Amino acid sequence: MYSHLPDAELENWHDFEVGSRREVYALLRGIGEKKQLIRMLIKGESDVCVTSILDVDDASDTVYLDCSIDQAQNRRVLAARQLTFETTLDKVRILFGAEQVEAATFEGTPAFRIALPASLIRLQRREYYRIATPVTNPVRVMIPLPADLGGPTTFPLADISCGGISILDNKMILANSIGKQYNDCRIDLPEIGQVATALQVRNSLDMTLLNNKSNRRLGCEFIGIPRGSLAAVQRYITKLERERNARIAGLS
C-alpha cells in the first residue's frame, strides 16, 4: 500500500502502524477538523491531487473526502484500484490507503467516500520531522541555474527540516529527476541569516489543486551542508516552533 515511499522509510514502517479503530477514527477526525490538506496518490501513477476530509462517520465506518473540480481526474480516482493518502497532524506524518473509492454526496455537494482504514501509519521519528515555513512571507532558496533557464532563481519553500527542504516550483523550471543535484544554493532564513548547501532531489510531486492549478513540490536533501549552516537551520526551526507555540497559547 505504501509502495511509493523510499526503501529507507519502508524499512520499519510496521513499528509505526496504528491498528486501533478508535485511534484511527480520532486521528482522521483531527485531520478533518484542522482542515489539513491531503495528497492523494493513485498507485502506479504520478497522478496526485489535493483533497481534504469532509467528515468521518463513526456509525458507518465511512470517510468523506473532497473531490476535484477536474472531472477527468475524478474519474481516474474512481477507477483506481488502490489509493494512498499522505498528510500531517500536529507535526506528525500520517499515511493511509483505500482499496476502493466511491462517488457520493456530502451536504449536497459531490464527494468521494472510502471505508474507514483498518490501520494507518504515523511516522514521528525525528528525521521525518518537518515544520511548515510561513506562507505570507515565504522563506526562499536561491538556486544557480544556467543562463538559458534564467540564471540564479529564487523559489519559495513549503517546509524545512534538519535533513532538507521542500521547494515549491509552480513554473516547473527545475529538473525533478531523482538524484539531480544543485550546488552552491543559498537559503535566506529570516532573522538567522543565509546558509549555503548543495541540494539533491529526493522526491517530486506534481499536484492539481482544487482550483485546477498545477503545482510542483520538490523534496530536496542537504548535501555536504557545513556544520555551522546546519546549526543555523536548527535555530530557525526552533524559532518557528516557538512562534507556533505562542500562537497556540494565545488562542487557548
Residue 221 lies in a domain: yes
* Domain match, 117 and 136 both: no
* Domain match, 94 and 156 both: no
Give tens-digit pLDDT for 203-216: 888 877 667 777 89
> Which of 61, 41, 45 has the alpha carbon at shortest distance from 113?
61
Supply 199's cell numbers: 541540494
Give tens-digit pLDDT for 95-118: 999 988 999 999 999 999 999 999
Quote the pLDDT of residue 30: 93
* Domain match, 195 and 118 both: no
Name the residue range of residue 50's domain: 7-125
* Domain match, 101 and 135 both: no
pLDDT of the chain along its 252 residues, tens only? 554 444 434 444 555 788 889 989 999 999 999 988 898 888 666 677 889 999 999 999 999 999 988 888 899 899 988 899 988 887 788 899 998 899 999 999 999 999 999 999 887 655 556 788 988 889 999 999 988 888 999 999 999 988 899 999 988 899 888 899 999 999 999 999 999 999 999 888 887 766 777 789 999 999 999 988 988 998 898 888 888 878 777 764
Specify the pTM: 0.53
CATH of the domain at 169: 2.40.10.220
Supply 246's cell numbers: 505562542
* Domain match, 110 and 153 both: no
**How many C-alpha atoms does 23 have within 13 Å on its Cβ side?**
10
Supply 86's cell numbers: 499522505
Residue 1 lies in a domain: no
* Domain match, 155 and 110 both: no
Give tens-digit pLDDT for 145-179: 988 888 999 999 999 988 899 999 988 899 888 89
Helix (H, G, I), strand (E, B) or coil at 57: strand
Identity of the residue numbered 117: P
Supply 247's cell numbers: 500562537
